[in-house]
Amino acid sequence: MQHFQLEGQIREVGNKAVIKAFRRQGLVPCNLYGKGIDNILFTVKEKELKGLLYTPASFIVDLKLSNGKTYTAVTHELQFHPVDDNCLHIDFLAVSADKPIAIDVPITITGHAAGVQAGGKFTLVSRKLRVSALMENLPDTLNVDITNLQLDKAISAGDVHYENVTILSPKTTVICRVKSTRQMLAAAKAEAEA
């Protein structure tokens, strides 16, 4: 999986006024926690987050903090402003290479569905699946081959398998489907009546 470099400035616990002052300066308050480390409060520049947040890709984040320490983490929780969509706060979860990491990984569709060639309409329902794997085994994307997807059928999380990766999303999570179109249903009805 791709890594994303991020630098942060250690900060003290502050009240709402302090947090608002950070945001006016173009800084985003962040929190890092995880097993074996104390809770670390820091800020990062909002413009440096664009490549991490506004992309369909998932990343392992390499955090370099002003106290001279570096941490490997994943984004755990994000808060955005309800109107202007600016990032207000990020919680990072510290991870290590020797323990499985749970993360959302984007789905890439490959092939042409047989059901679409028969006149159906393809719909992508889920853009990401939650998976767990060791850092070295985490894929950048999950490839889903739809070549054999027939009319009025779907592919769900329980149908896909990847080496050294465990799918955490519920097995019933629909990834994509091919549905009959209205014209096809109308033609079938007219044919049945004839």
Q: Structure pTM? A: 0.81
Pick the closest to residue 180 from 172, 188, 170 (CA basis): 188
Digit-coded pLDDT (tens) for 149-178? 999 999 999 999 999 999 999 999 999 999
Q: Are the C-beta atoms of residues 75 and 33 closer than 8 Å to each other?
A: no
Give the domains, in start order, of the chain with CATH numbers. Answer: 3-94 (2.40.240.10), 101-193 (2.170.120.20)
Angle of CA points 130, 133, 158, to nearest 5°: 45
Digit-coded pLDDT (tens) for 93-130? 999 989 999 999 999 999 999 989 888 899 999 999 99
Digit-coded pLDDT (tens) for 83-93? 988 899 999 99
Pick the closest to residue 89 from 38, 20, 175 (CA basis): 20
Q: What is the pLDDT of residue 187?
A: 74
Alpha helices in 94-134 (DSSP H): 114-117
Digit-coded pLDDT (tens) for 132-148? 999 999 999 999 999 99
- For 44-72, what is the mean pLDDT? 92
